[in-house]
Amino acid sequence: MAYRSVYAEHYQRAEASGDEYDRSLANRFELAIFELERRQLQDLFRRYMASDPRTRYLDFACGTGRILAVFRDRIRSKVGVDTSAGQLEIARRKVPDATLVHGNLVTDPGLLGDRQFDLITSFRLLLNLEPENRVPILRALRERLSPGGYLIVDNHMNRYSVLGVAAWFAHRVLGVPRKPHVPPGRRGIISTMTEREMREALAAAGLTVEEVRRLFVLPGHGSVLLLPARWLVAAEAFLARVPGMNRISKNQIYVCRTASRVPA
């Protein structure tokens, strides 16, 4: 069956501009989440890449360059790929020395030639994709990993978090449609995914999980935070280390490598 993604098509449309996307994430709750993500990514870079500036880095579905910019002054060779030309224009302003490529790596495997990467990141993508498209994307990324390279991906709405349970209830019980499958005139709700579903998709793509970092136990939305932003980031850093508590965190970051035996 030919690959097709409603989510990818949504971000290819002209109205899905980079400015619009950045504005949707410029609230207190999302900024606090990104601050923790940024710290975790920098820590993972130190741990797994030894902060080596020669690391060959790819950010897949880079959007407006939020994650790509985390490594702006840390990695020399940076490549971003996205299907949205509008979002790539914003990324070009944030990370002017990065190589930005417009296209789809699944439908066009030759998009990057024969290049391989020591570090690949892909954030806020797998959860939003249709479930049947997750493994093809992960396989395409696995093929781009250099020997010993690392893939870091996220699930930004764990079903067993407070917000994940609320989103699941809104969809399954109240009938609120999931984004981006939203009829005109209706509001949509984000999808949810369990850790088991993520691990199964990674295993099916021939990847093993080295580590999982869990972020954000306390709920929030938009400008509504349970604590002032500075206190919230400190509280979440503590809760991430509490056994059991971090299982109900909203965000999960997976550090992966190629499995010794790759599924056919």
Q: Which domains does the chain have, with CATH numbers?
A: 9-156+193-258 (3.40.50.150)
Q: What is the mean pLDDT of residues 82-110?
A: 93
Identify how many contiguous H helices and E strands the chain contains and give both numbers: 8, 7
What is residue 67's predicted lDDT score, i.e. its pLDDT?
97
pLDDT tens, 49-85? 999 999 999 999 999 999 999 999 999 999 999 998 8
The pTM score is 0.92
* DSSP letter string, 202-263: HHHTTEEEEEEEEE--S--BTTB-SS-HHHHHHHHHHHTTSTTGGGG-SEEEEEEEE-SS--
Q: pLDDT exceeding 70 applies to what percent of the chain?
A: 90
Contact by Cβ (8 Å): 254, 138: no
Q: What is the mean pLDDT of residues 91-109?
A: 94
Higher-pLDDT residue of 50, 16 = 50
Instruction: Point out which residues pair with 119 in neighbouring strands.
Output: 57, 150
| Measured CA distances, 255 to 122, 183, 210, 211, 229 (Å) | 11, 36, 5, 5, 27
Task: Tally Cβ neighbours within 10 Å of residue 97.
Answer: 10
Residue 14's pLDDT band (cuts 50, 70, 90):
very low
Choose among 149, 31, 152, 18: nearest CA to 91: 18
pLDDT tens, 163-212? 999 999 999 999 998 877 676 667 788 899 999 999 999 999 999 999 99
